[in-house]
Amino acid sequence: MNNFIKFISMRAGNFSLALFIVMLCASISTMAQGDGARFYWKGFMGTNAVPVIVNSMGGNANPMDPSNTVIPGSEFSAAMSMAGYARMLPIGKRSALISVLVPMGRISGVASLDGIDFSATSRGFGDPMVQFSINVIGPKAIMNIPDILRYKPGFSLDILGSLAVPIGQYDNTIPINIGQNRWYGRIGIPIVWQIGQWIPGKRTTFEFLPAVWFFTDNKDFVGKTMSTKPKYQLEAHLTRDFMERMWGSFDVISYLGGKSTVDGVEGDALSNLGLGGTLGYQINENMQLTLSYNTTVNDNDAEDLKMDGFRITFLYGWHKLIEGMHRLKGNE
Amino acid sequence: MKYLLSFFLTGAMLFRGETKAQVREEAKAQTPEKRPNIVLILADDMGFSDMGMFGSEIRTPNLDSLAQSGVRFTNFYTCASSSPTRSMLLTGQDTHINGLGAMDEWTAPAQMGKEGYEGNLRTSLVTLPQLLKDAGYHTYMVGKWHLGKAPDKIPAARGFERDFTLLDGMGSYWDMTNMTALNHTSVFTEDGKYLTKLPKNYYATKTYTDKLISFIDKNHGDGKPFFAYVCHQAPHDPYHLPKDWRNRHVGEYDKGWDIVRQERLKKQKEFGIIPENTQLAERMWFVPDYSILAPATRAVLGRKMELYAGLIENMDYHIGRLIDHLKEIGEYENTIFIVFGDNGAEGNDLGAMIGGTPGTLNYLYFATKWSNTDLNAWGEPHSYVGYGPGWAQVSMTPFSQYKGWMAEGGIHNALVVSGPINKLPKGSINHGTMFVTDIMPTLLEVAGANYPETFNGKAQPKLTGKSWLPVLNGQAASPRTDEDYIAMEVFGNRALRQGDWKIRWEIKPIGKSDWELFNLAQDPGERNDLAAQYPDKLKEMLILWDKYVQENNVILPDRTLFETLEDQLPARVPVQDGYPPLNYIRQFIPPADMMAKPKKIKNN
């Protein structure tokens, strides 16, 4: 029997690279950087993943506030990390992803609101966000290794819904908080469009994420009520493999709308464009690392959103079948 | 005879000083029929059962159309390897006479420097295209040559008027990438010139067909027939094929080689290709029962066969283009087609043999040039896929073994002949014993050409092949009598067939390193070695073997390609369906009414 196995491993060739199970991420679009490239690629159903994200961001809006409410003249800087859990699961014959992400860290900033200057630091846990997405157009769910081997996204379209639960740390005496003290969420349709062949080292995709964010009111924003109209997100990425394990992307993100009103005083709606780039590296079958930078570009006016940031994402994924195969291999 | 007459008349008129045009016109007037064109299609490593009309599920409508309008020969033999077969085809001589007593890649020390073992076609021998050219044929070649690269050995020097040729034995279908660190670039010729680069949009099968069509068109209308030697690289590994052809069988082969072999066997019996009582050859003992393989392994191995099938279908498509073109220009009805594979299907892992040893130059070369290993890259430039012994046995259904070996799976090929020389009912099947050396005398007869006693002042050995025309005319069931025999040797492996009997000697562990005896009429799968049961028959056939050795100066190699195989393969065991039962015993499910939860233990 051992001979048979050796025979097969010789004949089956090197397809281990096709067994990457880390082909998913958890949404981290609480920042102006968006979800990022290659977020909505599909993986082996049953795959679990833990993302750890480190952000360094700054600008004239609270990076943790998904409405990106601009406070003219303000200066925020944030050192954040996020950790979460995601799992791919089949629903019907479609692939779905459920994830939860908890932000944590520290934000400090200087802001002036209604003539009152604030200089504050906020630290602790933010609002956990739960997200669910399901594919509606594209290849069927990857249920087994042959499906992985034959997977090609072609044109793939998902529907997603996110919801942040307002249980993060919040101080109603300052405008700078990690928690937002209100429910918010979004619906969107992530699209992955394969350009050319699906060969590691040569994969190219064009990816879009149109989404709409909805917010309830924060009824205790420094003692006032903050309302925010729906915000429209359009994210696009042109991604390309540089090598089998290394890829990069050109990222564009735009936000529109999301006008905030604080006790009847209207702010400006967003109309900004951000550009950036991402480098990704698949460390092994279980681990992936990405590094990205994004900055707003049409931000000359005081009311314009100014924000930039670095983000490092480490993702560890596992699947019981793949882990079992590793154990057997280790015992040979 | 009428062709011969026409040839002499033409020669005589030219001698009288008449212009070629006048000669052509007069010849036309005097010759009721133009001599037929000949298209000889050699598919590299195509197996016995790979064409639809020989039992395959691979879609080959154009090859099938030739079979349906012609004859299928079910007992056609080649040598067990590429260039030896080609050498016999082009000279009509045994390999040990014509220079391919050993392939140049594997010439053994004992054979080096010996006449007949040059590893390329001896220039002292006349070739089929040379004689056909002399007889007034245009002679064209496209595809793989593998019979020598020096200027005096290339197709243009060996009788081909036009050529577009890969001189190497294998290589990329997409570019000039070849297989080893020291022989890294494939060498091509076109009309006798060595190419510095390939044409734009080169893809072997397509370009060969395009070139041949252009050759035919260039001279079409001058009244001369043509001989086209179409040596497709397909379906030799690496399996390179255009994207459109890669995904026509996705998942179809996940069921595995055992089932596909059974399906092909069933079809072959329905077609009458093989006797009703034929048993499949034993699966090679180191090839696993597909049913025990994991789905992923099935998918990966199945993918290899998907590509192979696509490669053959692509080749069939281009053969169809050639057929259609001949119909368009009005030549199809007057064209003989001869189609076959040059040896058994390839079950050896050439990629691993060449580039599979870390630390070697060739490994480094493979890492640079042949490492496009992702499953989705298979078929692309720099990918290397061969389907291995399990699928090779499918291609050789119902036979045992594959290329390089002397079981029927290495040397027994499908042969289709169609066109004006066939007087048998369309779609006929013939079971006569045919050999690749027969092609030379057959085609010389068709062309009305003589085989010379000397060539360039050198005496020519006699042709040993038998013309097929008596068979195609319906005058004989086989070109051979019961006393005639055919024999061959390559890599030290040997075989001889006479009537229904066959002896073979193969190196361990594929063979026994001893002579085996089979009755092919009763046992085409060579399951039962009858050497011990019929010692007299064995002895009788060994006498013929000794005769063959003497007549053909056979020098057995002291080193061979397979000399370390016994150390590489698992110990040989019989392959019996359902053994060991451990692999097949399924979960026991008790009767539902007898199932219960465990009872509680008191005080627990």
Would you put residue B201 in left (φ > 0), alpha (ψ -120 to 50) or beta? left
B285 touches chain A (CB under 8 A): no
Neighboring chain A residues of B380 at a CB cutoff of 8 Å: 197, 199
pLDDT at A330: 67
CA distance B509 to chain A (A): 15
Going by their DSSP bridges, the two strands A155-164 and A191-195 should be labelled as antiparallel
pLDDT at A120: 77
Instruction: Give Cβ neighbours of residue B593 (< 8 Å, ≥ 6 apart).
Output: none
Joined together, the tokens standing for residue B479 give: 């070109």
CA distance B367 to chain A (A): 13
Residue B357 in this model has a pLDDT that exceeds 80 = yes
Coil, helix or strand at residue B361: helix
Mean pLDDT, residues B38-49? 98
Domain spans of chain A, in order of start:
2-331
Neighboring chain B residues of A139 at a CB cutoff of 8 Å: none
Query: DSSP string of B192-236?
Result: TEE-SSPPTT--HHHHHHHHHHHHHHHHTTSS--EEEEEEE-TTS
B288 touches chain A (CB under 8 A): yes
B598 touches chain A (CB under 8 A): no
Alpha carbon separation from B337 to A161, B43, B226, B228, B417 (Å, rounded): 65, 13, 12, 10, 6
CB contact under 8 A, B295 and A146: yes
| Bridge partners of residue A44, in order along the sequence | A142
Neighboring chain A residues of B254 at a CB cutoff of 8 Å: 146
Neighboring chain A residues of B390 at a CB cutoff of 8 Å: 11
Nearest Cα neighbor of A42 from A21, A27, A28, A26 is: A21
B367 vs B510: CA distance, rounded Å: 30
B566 touches chain A (CB under 8 A): no
* Other Cβ atoms within 10 Å of A135 Cβ, number: 24
B604 vs B594: CA distance, rounded Å: 25
* Other Cβ atoms within 10 Å of B474 Cβ, number: 12
CB contact under 8 A, A15 and B286: no
B585 vs B587: CA distance, rounded Å: 7
Q: What is the pLDDT of residues A43-68, one digit of tens each?
A: 889 999 999 999 888 888 877 777 77
Please report, as a single letter, which amino acid is at residue B415.
L
A215 vs B141: CA distance, rounded Å: 75
| Bridge partners of residue A85, in order along the sequence | A100
Neighboring chain A residues of B375 at a CB cutoff of 8 Å: 13, 15, 18, 149
Mean pLDDT, residues A82-106? 92
Tokens 């069931």 locate to: B477
Alpha carbon separation from A4 to B292, B394, B551, B570 (Å, rounded): 10, 18, 44, 9
B172 vs B233: CA distance, rounded Å: 9
| Bridge partners of residue A292, in order along the sequence | A278, A311
pLDDT at A17: 34
CB contact under 8 A, B298 and A200: no
CB contact under 8 A, B288 and A199: no
Alpha carbon separation from B489 to A58, B84, B518 (Å, rounded): 79, 9, 17
Neighboring chain B residues of A146 at a CB cutoff of 8 Å: 251, 254, 295-296, 298-299
CB contact under 8 A, B301 and A152: no
Mean pLDDT, residues A240-255? 94
Residue B235 in this model has a pLDDT that exceeds 80 = yes
Joined together, the tokens standing for residue A250 give: 């050109």
CB contact under 8 A, B372 and A199: yes
Cross-chain CB nearest to A149 (options B296, B352, B385):
B296
Q: What is the pLDDT of residues B537-591, one digit of tens each?
A: 999 999 999 999 999 999 999 999 899 999 989 999 999 888 889 989 999 999 9
Each as own residue / partner, the long-range contacts of residues B23-28 (CB below 8 Å, 24 or more positions apart, any chain) are: B24/B222, B24/B223, B27/B223, B28/B223
Please give, one letter per residue, the 3-state secondary structure of B271-335.
HCCCCCCCCCCCCCCCCCCHHHCCHHHHHHHHHHHHHHHHHHHHHHHHHHHHHHHHHHCCCHHHE
Residue B331 in this model has a pLDDT that exceeds 90 = yes
Among chain B residues, the shortest Cα distance to A197 is held by: B376
A271, A234 Cβ separation under 8 angstroms: no
Cross-chain CB nearest to B286 (options A3, A12, A152):
A3
Residue contacts between A and B (CB atoms, under 8 Å): 76
pLDDT at A33: 65
CB contact under 8 A, B296 and A14: no
Q: What's the mean pLDDT when you consider all of chain A?
A: 84
A257, A46 Cβ separation under 8 angstroms: no
Mean pLDDT, residues B159-182? 97
B253 vs B244: CA distance, rounded Å: 18
A79 vs B124: CA distance, rounded Å: 84
Chosen for mutation from B298, B363, B373 (greatest number of chain A CBs closer than 10 Å) is B373
Neighboring chain B residues of A199 at a CB cutoff of 8 Å: 372, 374, 376-377, 380
Please report, as a single letter, which amino acid is at residue B168.
D
CB contact under 8 A, A18 and B288: no
CB contact under 8 A, A146 and B352: no
A32, A307 Cβ separation under 8 angstroms: yes
Q: What is the pLDDT of residues A121-161, one digit of tens each?
A: 888 999 999 999 999 999 999 998 888 888 899 999 999 99
Tokens 């050795």 locate to: B549
Residue B77 in this model has a pLDDT that exceeds 90 = yes
Coil, helix or strand at residue B381: coil
B291 touches chain A (CB under 8 A): no
Cross-chain CB nearest to B388 (options A3, A11, A198):
A11
Nearest Cα neighbor of B2 from B48, B33, B29, B37 is: B33
Give Dmax (Cα) for chain B: 123
pLDDT at A107: 82
CA distance A139 to chain B (A): 14
B367 touches chain A (CB under 8 A): no
Residues of A at the B interface (Cβ-Cβ below 8 Å)? 3-4, 7-8, 10-15, 17-18, 144-146, 148-150, 152, 197-202, 244
A39, A138 Cβ separation under 8 angstroms: no
Mean pLDDT, residues B361-378? 91
Neighboring chain B residues of A144 at a CB cutoff of 8 Å: 295-296
A202, A245 Cβ separation under 8 angstroms: no
Q: What is the pLDDT of residues B547-560, one digit of tens each?
A: 999 999 999 999 99
CB contact under 8 A, A200 and B374: yes
**Greater model confidence, B392 or B601:** B392
**Greater model confidence, A86 or A331:** A86
Nearest Cα neighbor of A197 from B377, B589, B1 is: B377
* Domain at A2-331: CATH architecture: Beta Barrel (2.40)
B361 touches chain A (CB under 8 A): no
Q: What is the pLDDT of residues B242-253, one digit of tens each?
A: 999 999 999 999
Joined together, the tokens standing for residue B475 give: 């005058």
Residue B284 in this model has a pLDDT that exceeds 70 = yes
pLDDT at A236: 96
Joined together, the tokens standing for residue A27 give: 């949404």
Would you put residue B104 in left (φ > 0), alpha (ψ -120 to 50) or beta? alpha
A286 vs A50: CA distance, rounded Å: 10
CB contact under 8 A, A149 and B377: no
| Bridge partners of residue B361, in order along the sequence | none
CA distance A237 to chain B (A): 23
Neighboring chain B residues of A10 at a CB cutoff of 8 Å: 349, 352
Please give, one letter per residue, the 3-state secondary structure of B71-112.
EEEEEEECCCCHHHHHHHHHHCCCHHHHCCCCCCCCCCHHHC
Cross-chain CB nearest to B374 (options A10, A12, A199):
A199
Nearest Cα neighbor of A193 from A162, A153, A228, A159 is: A153
Q: What percent of chain B has pLDDT over 90?
A: 87
Question: Averaging pLDDT over each range in A77-91, A267-281, B219-233, which range is the top one?
Answer: B219-233
pLDDT at B6: 42
Neighboring chain A residues of B243 at a CB cutoff of 8 Å: 197
CB contact under 8 A, A7 and B294: no
**Phi and psi, residue B189, nearest 5°:** -125, 150
Coil, helix or strand at residue B66: helix
Neighboring chain A residues of B363 at a CB cutoff of 8 Å: none
**Phi and psi, residue B341, nearest 5°:** -95, 155
pLDDT at A79: 84
Joined together, the tokens standing for residue A324 give: 């079992």
A294 vs B176: CA distance, rounded Å: 44
Residue B326 in this model has a pLDDT that exceeds 90 = yes
Name the helix (H) or strand (E) containing A156.
strand A155-164
Question: Which ipTM value was assigned to this complex?
Answer: 0.72
B404 vs B346: CA distance, rounded Å: 8
B322 vs B476: CA distance, rounded Å: 31
Q: What is the pLDDT of residues B96-148, one digit of tens each?
A: 999 999 999 899 999 999 999 999 999 999 999 999 999 999 999 999 999 99
Geometric angle at alpha carbon B544, from B540 and B549, rounded to 5°: 140
CB contact under 8 A, B296 and A150: no
Neighboring chain B residues of A197 at a CB cutoff of 8 Å: 243, 376-377, 380
Joined together, the tokens standing for residue B522 give: 């009763």
CB contact under 8 A, B374 and A12: no
Confidence of residue B604 (pLDDT cuts 50, 70, 90): low
Cross-chain CB nearest to A199 (options B300, B380, B390):
B380
Q: What percent of chain A has pLDDT over 70?
A: 87
pLDDT at A200: 87
Q: What is the pLDDT of residues B418-450, one digit of tens each?
A: 999 999 999 999 999 999 999 999 999 999 999
Mean pLDDT, residues B316-337? 98
Neighboring chain B residues of A17 at a CB cutoff of 8 Å: 373-374
CB contact under 8 A, A144 and B296: yes
